């Protein structure tokens, strides 16, 4: 699971670099190699960048789906969805409801402080 996450991060970084290397008007890295059109050709560089973008995006999507399917489905309960418990004896004093540690002693009228 950790290996897939690391591969996803690496693919996402590579995809970002490939997309940033492209020019929105079609130049990108190919614009820098205009003099080398006899060797590799400008069109081949643009084709390579487009294929690399689609390949990395597809691989990233497949790995994300695989990662999601391999995850364990555990539901964390924080008690918010727990049913409300109603006290059967509404005349109980605070010491029995809250426990002995939470009981507060209140002096009655006329008690010395």
pLDDT in tens, 53-108: 999 999 999 999 999 998 876 656 666 666 777 767 666 555 554 555 555 555 65
Quick check: 50 and 42 in contact, CB under 8 A?
Answer: no
**Ramachandran sector of residue 26 (left: φ over 0; alpha: ψ -120 to 50; beta: rest):** left
Tokens standing for residue 96: 């029995």
Domain boundaries along the sequence of the chain = 2-70
pLDDT in tens, 90-104: 665 555 545 555 555
Q: How far apart are CA 49 and CA 84, in angstroms?
A: 59
- Which residues have CB under 8 Å from 42's CB, separation 6+? 30, 31, 33, 34, 36
């Amino acid at each position: 699971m950790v290996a897939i996450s690391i591969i996803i991060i690496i693919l996402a970084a590579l995809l970002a670099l490939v997309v940033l290397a492209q020019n929105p008007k079609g130049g990108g890295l190919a614009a820098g190699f205009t003099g080398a059109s006899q060797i590799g050709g400008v069109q081949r560089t643009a084709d390579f960048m487009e294929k690399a973008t689609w390949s990395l995006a597809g691989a990233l999507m497949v790995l994300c789906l695989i990662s999601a399917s391999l995850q364990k489905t555990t539901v964390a309960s924080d008690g918010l969805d727990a049913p409300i418990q109603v006290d059967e004896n509404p005349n109980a004093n605070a010491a029995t409801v809250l426990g002995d540690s939470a009981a507060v002693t209140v002096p009655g009228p006329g008690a010395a402080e």
